[in-house]
Protein backbone atom coordinates (compact mmCIF):
# COMPACT_ATOMS: atom_id res chain seq x y z
CA UNK A 1 0.00 0.00 0.00
CA UNK A 2 0.93 3.61 -0.30
CA UNK A 3 3.18 4.84 2.52
CA UNK A 4 1.25 6.95 4.97
CA UNK A 5 -2.12 5.56 3.91
CA UNK A 6 -4.26 4.88 6.99
CA UNK A 7 -6.12 1.55 6.87
CA UNK A 8 -8.81 0.92 9.49
CA UNK A 9 -10.53 -2.16 8.05
CA UNK A 10 -9.93 -5.00 5.61
CA UNK A 11 -12.84 -6.64 3.80
CA UNK A 12 -12.40 -9.91 1.92
CA UNK A 13 -15.00 -10.46 -0.80
CA UNK A 14 -16.03 -14.09 -0.23
CA UNK A 15 -17.08 -14.88 -3.80
CA UNK A 16 -14.49 -15.10 -6.60
CA UNK A 17 -14.49 -12.10 -8.95
CA UNK A 18 -13.97 -11.82 -12.70
CA UNK A 19 -10.43 -10.44 -12.85
CA UNK A 20 -11.07 -8.58 -16.08
CA UNK A 21 -12.58 -5.97 -13.74
CA UNK A 22 -10.27 -3.13 -12.86
CA UNK A 23 -10.70 -0.05 -10.67
CA UNK A 24 -14.04 1.03 -12.14
CA UNK A 25 -15.70 -2.38 -12.00
CA UNK A 26 -14.34 -3.27 -8.58
CA UNK A 27 -15.34 0.06 -7.02
CA UNK A 28 -18.88 -0.38 -8.34
CA UNK A 29 -18.88 -3.92 -6.93
CA UNK A 30 -17.82 -2.60 -3.50
CA UNK A 31 -20.57 0.00 -3.50
CA UNK A 32 -23.48 -1.84 -5.10
CA UNK A 33 -22.99 -5.57 -4.51
CA UNK A 34 -21.19 -5.45 -1.16
CA UNK A 35 -23.01 -2.38 0.19
CA UNK A 36 -19.81 -0.71 1.40
CA UNK A 37 -18.33 2.75 0.85
CA UNK A 38 -15.31 2.48 -1.48
CA UNK A 39 -13.92 5.88 -0.34
CA UNK A 40 -13.30 4.84 3.26
CA UNK A 41 -10.01 3.96 4.94
CA UNK A 42 -10.38 0.27 4.12
CA UNK A 43 -8.88 -2.36 1.86
CA UNK A 44 -11.25 -4.31 -0.36
CA UNK A 45 -9.70 -7.64 -1.30
CA UNK A 46 -10.87 -9.85 -4.16
CA UNK A 47 -9.79 -13.32 -5.24
CA UNK A 48 -10.01 -15.04 -8.61
CA UNK A 49 -11.73 -18.39 -9.17
CA UNK A 50 -8.45 -20.36 -8.94
CA UNK A 51 -7.55 -18.54 -5.66
CA UNK A 52 -4.00 -17.93 -6.87
CA UNK A 53 -4.41 -14.18 -7.46
CA UNK A 54 -5.81 -11.37 -5.33
CA UNK A 55 -6.58 -7.75 -6.14
CA UNK A 56 -6.68 -5.07 -3.46
CA UNK A 57 -8.59 -1.84 -4.00
CA UNK A 58 -8.37 1.20 -1.74
CA UNK A 59 -8.88 4.96 -1.82
CA UNK A 60 -5.91 7.24 -1.18
CA UNK A 61 -6.64 10.98 -0.85
CA UNK A 62 -7.68 11.77 -4.42
CA UNK A 63 -7.92 8.48 -6.30
CA UNK A 64 -8.20 4.73 -6.19
CA UNK A 65 -5.19 2.44 -5.90
CA UNK A 66 -5.19 -1.15 -7.10
CA UNK A 67 -2.56 -3.78 -6.60
CA UNK A 68 -2.35 -7.43 -7.48
CA UNK A 69 -0.50 -10.43 -6.10
CA UNK A 70 -0.25 -13.69 -8.03
CA UNK A 71 1.08 -16.87 -6.48
CA UNK A 72 3.11 -19.04 -8.80
CA UNK A 73 2.64 -22.42 -7.10
CA UNK A 74 0.09 -22.13 -4.26
CA UNK A 75 -3.43 -20.94 -3.50
CA UNK A 76 -4.68 -18.34 -1.04
CA UNK A 77 -6.73 -19.58 1.91
CA UNK A 78 -10.12 -17.91 1.60
CA UNK A 79 -13.29 -17.76 3.73
CA UNK A 80 -16.26 -19.75 2.51
CA UNK A 81 -19.21 -17.90 1.05
CA UNK A 82 -21.76 -18.72 3.73
CA UNK A 83 -22.68 -15.70 5.86
CA UNK A 84 -22.68 -12.42 3.99
CA UNK A 85 -20.73 -11.18 1.02
CA UNK A 86 -17.62 -10.10 2.96
CA UNK A 87 -15.39 -11.28 5.76
CA UNK A 88 -13.70 -8.64 7.88
CA UNK A 89 -10.14 -9.30 9.04
CA UNK A 90 -7.52 -7.21 10.79
CA UNK A 91 -4.56 -5.77 8.94
CA UNK A 92 -2.34 -8.27 10.77
CA UNK A 93 -4.54 -11.17 9.66
CA UNK A 94 -4.43 -9.87 6.09
CA UNK A 95 -0.63 -9.87 6.22
CA UNK A 96 -0.75 -13.48 7.47
CA UNK A 97 -3.09 -14.36 4.61
CA UNK A 98 -0.59 -12.90 2.14
CA UNK A 99 2.14 -15.04 3.74
CA UNK A 100 0.09 -18.20 3.22
CA UNK A 101 -1.53 -18.83 6.59
CA UNK A 102 -5.06 -20.26 6.70
CA UNK A 103 -6.94 -18.10 9.19
CA UNK A 104 -9.97 -20.40 9.20
CA UNK A 105 -8.27 -23.76 9.67
CA UNK A 106 -6.90 -23.34 13.17
CA UNK A 107 -8.34 -20.61 15.36
CA UNK A 108 -6.04 -18.84 17.82
CA UNK A 109 -5.81 -19.88 21.45
CA UNK A 110 -8.88 -19.04 23.48
CA UNK A 111 -8.73 -16.08 25.84
CA UNK A 112 -9.08 -17.20 29.45
CA UNK A 113 -10.56 -15.06 32.21
CA UNK A 114 -9.89 -15.96 35.84
CA UNK A 115 -11.14 -14.41 39.05
CA UNK A 116 -8.24 -15.51 41.25
CA UNK A 117 -5.08 -17.60 41.20
CA UNK A 118 -6.06 -20.03 43.94
- For residue range 57-70, list pLDDT tens digits in order: 999 989 999 999 99
Range of lowest pLDDT (5-9, 97-101, 106-110): 106-110
Reported as a single tens digit per residue, the pLDDT across 66-87 is 999 999 999 999 887 667 788 8
What's the predicted TM-score (pTM) here? 0.84
Query: Where are the domains positioned within the chain?
Result: 9-99
Give CA–CA dist 22/19, Å, rounded: 7
Phi and psi (nearest 5°) for 25?
A: -65, -40
For a pLDDT cut of 70, what percent of the chain falls above it?
A: 92
Amino acid sequence: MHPGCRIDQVFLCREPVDFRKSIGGLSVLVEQALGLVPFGSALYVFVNRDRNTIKVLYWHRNGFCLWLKRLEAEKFAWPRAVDGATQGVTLQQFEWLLEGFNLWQKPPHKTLHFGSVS
